[in-house]
A and B are shown apart, each in its own frame.
Chain A
Amino acid sequence: MPDKVFFLLPVFLLLLGCQKDDQPKPDELEGLMAGGGTTVFSTGPDAYTFPLANIGGYLGQHAAGDAAFEQAFVTAPAPQFGGIGPVFNQNACIACHVRNGRSAPPVHTGDPATGLLLRLSIPGEGAQGGALPVPGFGVQLQTKAIFGEMPEGTLAVAYKQEVVEFLTGEKASLQLPVFAIENPYQPLPVGVLTSPRNAPPVFGLGLLEAIPEAGILALADENDSNGDGISGRPNWVWDIKEQRTVLGRFGWKAGNPTAVQQTADAFNHDMGITNSYFPMENCQGQGNCQSGLSPGLDIDDDFVETTAFYFKTLGVPGPRGLDDEVVKIGRELFDAAKCSSCHVPKHQTGSDAISALSFQTIYPYTDLLLHDMGEGLADGRPDFSASGQEWRTPPLWGIGLAQVVNPKASFLHDGRARTLEEAILWHGGEAEASRNFYKNASKKEREAMVAFLKAL
């Protein structure tokens, strides 16, 4: 579904202008402009699909990127949009990032619709400190192939049920997905490390990229010198164009430094589309990589950059009902539980090449740093500096609309959490104290905390 052209910000200003006497106090509304001047206000399934409210003259480039983000690719040779595969996960960006939001995890083994994929590696360190590819499979399991080639394997899933009991006696059930690789096209080496990754929402990434590095590093506390039990570490990752190690920001383990490189990575590993960042097919040298090959790169840098430009210039949806009494209590509890130690509410962007993103005060609720989240969430697969137990704090902005945008969407890296409450209950490691705060809270307090998240 293509996106919208209009500007919801003025509507918001209008609403403020029309307020009656009982208007909320300014501090209650803090964070209402979640994306600063870029913020859009929509409560429907299209909430993640609007351009920056202040997009101005960038609209044409945004529109071109929208078409690229939606475009399905086909087998080469083709007059238009050739180069898919030979092996791939999906044939268009939008197929995983449903309405620019989260994917549904696989419902069953071999579910062709899911935007969840499996990263692979073997123990050890690869080039530039990254993961070491699995011989014959690379760094990702591609579960589809063009006609005549074999997919690398089938992603199998089974769900185990667990029960958690609150201090007050009520119970919540959790589901734990257990993934496996079935029908590998050739025998899989022993000891392969895997990391399931569900497709995240794509709005707001331009703003996250525009947060100055110093602002993120200032939040790092690698040795927990302040003794709060929370140590945030930066991931240091390889920047392909700059040919040096830099701060990672994007992906579940912050394995990519820029939105453009993240895009180029996804084109290559998820779709089999070669580009100057990743010029080799994702199955280079493999026995299932013999046909559907084109002589040059499948897309040029302009196409990669235009695609990234699209989601970098998507507006951030503003919160709803921040002045609601329950939401206000939930917000206080969010702080009291120290959720905000990692889900850091407020940041300032610096100067950006896209001026609409520059010098904005934003409320993404992330520190973009890695945290040990405990064994329950661990994938056991390192990714640059990130250990097998570390994950990057995901932003919470717009999270209350996740299941309005896609009712099948779920939360956490492998989509195991069907609700926000389940997501909270899976927190461990550095977040264990916060999780216990929630578990030990009264039903009303727990409801208030979830109400706050739903307001974001």
Chain B
Amino acid sequence: MKFNHYLSVLAFSLFLASCGDDDTGTGTADYADVLANVGTNVFLKTYEDLKDRAIQLQNATAALEALPNSANLEAARAAWVAARSPWEQSEGFLFGPVDQEGLDPSLDSWPVNVTDLNNVLASSNALTVDFLKAQEGTLKGFHTIEYLLWGTDGNKQPDTFTEREYEYLAACAGALAADAAALYDLWSPAGGNYVKQVTDAGNGSNIYISQKAALEEMANGLIVIADEVANGKINDPFSQKDLSLEESRFSANSKADFADNIRSIQNIYTGKYGSGGNGNGIANIIKAKNVALDARVYAEIAVAIQAIEAIPGTFSDAVFNAGTAVENAQQQVRGLLSTLESEVLPIISNL
């Protein structure tokens, strides 16, 4: 699900302040180190983790199908949560093959087509990976698996599953693993090598005519996801007090989704991902122009993650019972959004 909302916040004067701030004197600074690190150690690595954890999810659902019990159900749920994390950490860069190849809807469509799902389950169709691959995104991907693993109110027990639900789950996880593998392959140097479009921006890339063009798309990606978390994912269910608008409500994973989305911003900004990345990120560029701003972005990212994680209980509960904490998290993400939009992006746009 990718709702998007906007803050009408642009101070035009900020754009006008930096004429001739070419204080390096060269005017042709090289950002290849940033592009190489973010492309290879953040983007590609995130997709590699997604691919690996999707395989683990596939294995866990196969084990659950083979031996349905509480332990295997919990293991499958844990595998879903683990695979969900790199996906949410990829939502700060939803460009390239994920977008062009229709993989985003295939992996992460919302809502689930429950009517069709029930009809498929009631049918005698063979529930194979190939069958699932041919279905629309609303019948597969993270949210269909989530719906099957947890049920509408999050407390489904092994004895309430039908045999066909287990089959559907395993096939659906197989299709998800295939999509995740395809996505990694399209980016990988051994496959489609889309990562080269990023690392070679302005130097042979046929997508990005300049390094600045690639950096602008990255900066825009940060803004898009900050906006979506604050003004879509948090705002829609919270402002309308309608949990049918909450994306990962079956699994009660929404807070983790939001925090991982902000971590996606953190990864690209700081040039680090997990224990990897050499630290060449968007931060390099900002720090060279404005040390105080760089420090503020670091702090605002950390504060936003803290505020999301500080929401008590599940997000579903908090929508009704912890409004102040939800509002605080939303405000912190909006603050980060405002900084990215009105201070970080203009620096990139004026490179």
Contact = CB atoms under 8 A, between A and B. Distances in A.
Contact of A63 (B6, B210, B346): B6
Interface stretch (B72-80, B130-138, B277-285): B130-138
Interface string A5-30: 11110110110011000000000000
A1 B349 CA distance: 20
A78 B10 contact: no
B207 interface: yes
A212 interface: no
A59 B115 contact: no
A1 B224 contact: yes
Given A14-B18, A72-B137, A95-B102, A59 B109 contact: no
Given A44-B207, A62-B6, A74-B114, A4 B105 contact: no
Contact of B20 (A11, A18, A98): A18
A81 B236 CA distance: 15
Given A14-B18, A147-B116, A404-B207, A99 B99 contact: yes
Interface string A43-87: 111100001000011011011101100101111111111101000
Nearest to A61: B6
A406 interface: yes
Given A4-B223, A10-B16, A74 B113 contact: yes
Nearest to B217: A44
A4 B208 CA distance: 18
A10 B12 CA distance: 7
B55 interface: no
Interface in A238-295: 292
Interface in B1-24: 2-10, 12, 15-16, 18-20
B28 interface: no
B115 A112 contact: no
A2 B119 contact: no
B120 interface: yes
Nearest to B13: A10
Nearest to A404: B207
On chain A, which size bracket covers the interface? 35 or more
A64 B210 CA distance: 32
Contact of B115 (A56, A76, A99): A76
Contacts, number: 156
Contact of B4 (A14, A66, A76): A66
A3 interface: yes
A256 to B, nearest CB: 26
Given A5-B6, A91-B136, A46 B95 contact: yes
A64 B244 CA distance: 18
A78 B119 CA distance: 14
Contacts of A66: 4
Contact of A2 (B210, B227, B345): B227
A6 B223 contact: yes
Nearest to B337: A5
A7 B113 contact: no
B295 interface: no
B8 A59 contact: yes
Contacts of B244: 79-80
A148 interface: yes
Contact of A74 (B138, B208, B232): B138
A171 to B, nearest CB: 24
B174 to A, nearest CB: 18
B200 interface: no
A197 interface: no
Contact of A78 (B5, B115, B224): B115
A408 interface: yes
B146 interface: no
B10 A7 contact: yes
Contacts of A62: 6
A164 interface: no
Contact of B217 (A46, A81, A84): A46
A135 interface: no
B213 interface: yes
Which of B19, B111, B206: most chain A CB closer than 10 A? Answer: B111
B228 interface: yes
B245 interface: yes
Nearest to B215: A44
Contacts of B179: none
B123 interface: yes
B19 A45 contact: no
Interface in B222-237: 223-224, 227-228, 231-232
B216 interface: yes
B4 A3 contact: yes
Contacts of A67: 3-5, 232
B341 interface: yes
B209 interface: yes
A146 interface: yes
Interface in B110-155: 110-116, 119-120, 123, 134, 136-139
A92 interface: yes
B94 interface: yes
A8 B232 CA distance: 23
Given A10-B12, A44-B214, A45-B95, A5 B113 contact: no
B214 to A, nearest CB: 7
Nearest to B106: A113
A64 B6 CA distance: 9
Which of A6, A13, A56, A62: most chain B CB closer than 10 A? Answer: A6
A406 B101 CA distance: 9
A407 interface: yes
A119 interface: no
Given A44-B207, A78-B113, A6 B10 contact: yes
A42 interface: yes
A59 B6 contact: yes
B100 A95 contact: no
B253 interface: no
A144 interface: yes
A158 B23 CA distance: 57
A8 B15 CA distance: 9
A115 B105 CA distance: 15
Contacts of A64: 5
A49 to B, nearest CB: 9
Contacts of A51: 6
Contacts of B350: 11, 14
Given A11-B349, A72-B109, A99-B99, 9 more contacts: A4-B224, A10-B16, A14-B19, A44-B208, A60-B5, A70-B3, A74-B114, A74-B138, A148-B116
20 contacts: A5-B10, A14-B350, A17-B16, A43-B209, A43-B213, A46-B217, A59-B8, A63-B231, A66-B4, A67-B232, A72-B109, A74-B115, A75-B116, A76-B115, A78-B113, A78-B115, A79-B111, A80-B245, A82-B115, A148-B116
